[in-house]
A and B are shown apart, each in its own frame.
Chain A
Amino acid sequence: MMLDGKIPAGPLTEKWTQYKSTMPIVAPNNKRNIEVIVVGTGLAGAAAAASLGELGYAVKCFTFHDSPRRAHSIAAQGGINAAKNYRNDGDSTWRLFYDTIKGGDYRAREANVYRLAEVSASIIDQAVAQGVPFAREYGGLLENRSFGGVQVSRTFYARGQTGQQLLIGAYQSLSRQIALGSVEMHNRHEMLDVVLVDGKARGIIARNLVTGKLERFGAHAVVLATGGYGNVFYLSTNAMNCNVTAAWRAVRRGAYMANPCFTQIHPTCIPQYGEYQSKLTLMSESLRNDGRVWVPKKKEDAQAIREGRKKATDIAETDRDYFLERRYPAFGNLVPRDVASRAAKVACDEGLGIVPTGLGVFLDFASAIERYGKSKANSMGLHNPERPKIIELGEEVVKEKYGNLFEMYEKITGEDPYKMPMKIYPAVHYTMGGLWVDYNLETNVPGLFAAGECNFSDHGANRLGASALMQGLADGYFVLPYTIGTYLANDIRTPKFDTNREEFAATEKEVRERLDSLLGVQGTQSVESFHRRLGKIMWDYCGMSRTAEGLTKARTMIRELREAFYKDVFVPGSANEFNPELEKAHRVADFLEMGELMILDALNRNESCGGHFREEFQTPEGEADRDDDNYAYVAAWEYKGWGEDPTLHKEPLIFNDVHPSKRSYK
């Protein structure tokens, strides 16, 4: 099947405006009778549910959390990009578009990315109007900072809690619609399947997590805003409950999964320290504005640090390798995430790692503290201040900028990052791949939409920092509320769906059987132990660096693990009660299938681009070697049945307005 991205005609810069003005829409009196299901209440889901409610649709919204204020968007620290050009530093819609396309290593659709850049400014307007307390300057106007992969300051932020503040903004708007009755909110409900009627998505089966009861919900359209699949790696910066189930269940019903091997490894996370560890903690990319990444030049110094015989501060300036600054002088410490992560891996592979496991590098604020201290002293009229005074003033400035991040670091590690450099290592953070969607954010299953991290659409093979919040809110506030109308306009005569229909009953029965089969194994190994093993396979063979040989091996390992899972997993309790282990078992079962698809996709893509680095395809300097002649396409995978190989569908990526060039940050 040929995949049609449904990209509107016309010049790139006018596509969205023209399309919006001419697309079919639904009249207010009809909207009241049209039901839309939104699954997920992160930035994309909460914003979409609120906006659709504001428009007058009858919305049903679902979250597995106890409240729609908890989704993992909340943990985003650093900021949100927008092409406001408030700094007068040459930013524009075009530049944000270009940075994003290039940052994604030319593996995203031009038209989608341009639209994203176009609506970015409205997001900031909307958030401020909701009362989001962004950082401000003394003049009362909004402050900005820089993120990786760009040369302007376009990142808006709210201390180190930008995600929380934006999510609370969306949650407040959603709460208002709940109060007005336009959104019916279902907390503690997990979607376990999508219901198709005549090939169209017309509802979901959700499990009430308190009672265990399976419940049926019908609607004219279903929106999945259920996040990414980073937890397939077990250890990641994702929240513990992030999972792929909603998206994977859609795949099992015919939706295509696009570019699943495009996963983002974030360079600045607190390194792993033990076998019991349940997750990894991100340190915001904003820290690379002022932090310098380094390892010792000499292996013996690195070893001495690992063994606790030396400290970072014992290493002379001349014996340090600030490897990002050395390798990428134009962008320095602010290279994109994929580049920074790989460089850290290379340093550690050479034996220069500085934590006991060997997997860690320094992120050092000493120069920034000194620089800020001097500048603060100057502004206070202090001439020739003593060094301790400079450090004291500098630490104050750094505290104002990154205080809560430094606190978080100290809480977790017990070390004071004002005095000693942070220790960091890359960790799984985000997934660029996701459900295939067209320009309308509609999957290939009619009436099934995907928004936010759940879709594949905007970030190509690597996402730039501070762009996930931007995309989630763009989809939710400003794209989906329009584009869903193109589908629903044909449905104004369709009555509400009776959930007693055969299709709902049959799907519910399948879900029940699936849960019963998980409970029925009564084996000897915990769900957690399987998840841990899956994560290790994925990280070892489908992580920062991949080879055909390793991937082939990993595929066999995953299949064996899956077999063992269905033979020997132990899930306590029953399906008719509050049972977190059962929830987890279902999620891990789906991860075991998703993992194999990621491996297949990585095997298929015989090139290196963005976060997908195949060792066989690199330049002599060790940079990613992209193959535009053969791989400038979206790989969309169709599920073909248990144990069958999926079918690959290709959507060619056509670049009319930017010319894919070698991505260089040197």
Chain B
Amino acid sequence: MQTMKLTLKIWRQSGPNDKGRLETYPVEANEHMSFLEMLDVLNESLINDRKTPVAFEHDCREGICGTCNMVINGQPHGPMGGTTTCQLHMRHFKDGDTIVIEPFRARAFPVIRDLVVDREAFDRIIQAGGYVSVNAGQAQDANAIPIEKETASRAFDAAACIGCGACVAACPNASAMLFVSAKISHLALLPQGKVEAKKRVQAMVNQMDLEGFGMCSNVTACEAECPKGISVENIARMNREYLSSTLGSEVQG
């Protein structure tokens, strides 16, 4: 098993009021480790030296919960396409590499500590309308409305979003358009979500603006960095939905 000696430059910030800085740490890893296991090794050695370990968020380590979030060498979730940080493996790095690790940066994602940021803005956008208004017990039989396979599949593609925020971190404007549009598309494509589509798109877009996310200027870095391959077509669909919702709609004003 090949051991690699790496130099990590990691953003350390004790809290929201600390200015923060990059600090340098040497670490030994091997190609079988995941990126987060490499950070575990660093933290273990920091603890053994009675220093404060690096705070970072992670949970499932299977690429699905959306908890892990860090910018690795300038890219959210690191260099591999379609990969969350927890599924990034060290075999993609080599002996002697220097790796810069920073938090997801956006005005709407304030830093809590080190690499941990607050992404509750995403929750508030969903609360604004990212749902179908159906109480438990109200549903009709699941097969009552056939849905074209292709349509269901496109809805799924949008619903695959894990809410990690990489799209925001990748965007030079820190726009949340990809995240918001994925939810709007997922629900608007399905007959169950169609009923409230107009109201939903207006409420969610308004909340997105209130949270301080930037505007979309078609850079499409969001799509490139999205670990789940969410397409910018969703942004186009959201813009159409938004526009049509404001034209002659009873929900306007």
Contacts and interface: CB of A to CB of B under 8 A. Distances in A.
Interface of A: 47, 50-51, 54, 65-72, 74-75, 84, 86, 122, 124-131, 133-142, 158-159, 161, 163-165, 168, 171-173, 175-176, 178-179, 185, 187, 210, 239-241, 273-274, 276-279, 281-282, 407-408, 411-412, 414, 477-478, 481, 526, 528-529, 570, 572-573, 577-578, 580-581
Contact of A126 (B83, B87, B139, B143): B139
Contact of A66 (B63, B118, B138): B118
A47 B136 contact: yes
B132 interface: yes
Interface residues of B, number: 77
Nearest to B207: A179
Nearest to A179: B127
A207 to B, nearest CB: 15
Chain B contact surface mostly: loop
Nearest to A48: B136
A129 B67 contact: no
A-B residue pairs, 10 tightest by C-beta: A140-B146, A172-B131, A129-B139, A125-B139, A133-B156, A128-B142, A179-B127, A477-B136, A54-B135, A239-B59
A131 B122 contact: no
A334 to B, nearest CB: 23
A176 B193 CA distance: 14
B142 A526 contact: no
Contacts of A66: 57, 67, 118-120
B119 A137 contact: no
A185 to B, nearest CB: 8
Interface string B29-51: 01011101100110010011011
A407 B126 CA distance: 29
Interface in B103-143: 112-113, 116, 118-120, 122-123, 126-128, 130-143
B59 to A, nearest CB: 4
Nearest to B113: A578
Given A66-B119, A528-B40, A178 B127 contact: yes
Given A125-B141, A273-B32, A276-B33, A130 B131 contact: yes
B58 to A, nearest CB: 6
B179 to A, nearest CB: 12
B196 to A, nearest CB: 10
Contacts of A47: 136
Contacts of B199: none
A165 to B, nearest CB: 6
Given A51-B136, A67-B122, A129-B139, A276 B57 contact: no
B61 interface: yes
Contacts of B210: none
Nearest to A473: B136
Contact of B192 (A128, A276, A573): A128
Given A239-B65, A281-B62, A578-B55, 13 more contacts: A54-B135, A66-B118, A84-B142, A125-B140, A158-B159, A164-B64, A172-B126, A179-B127, A274-B33, A278-B40, A411-B87, A528-B47, A580-B53
B232 interface: no
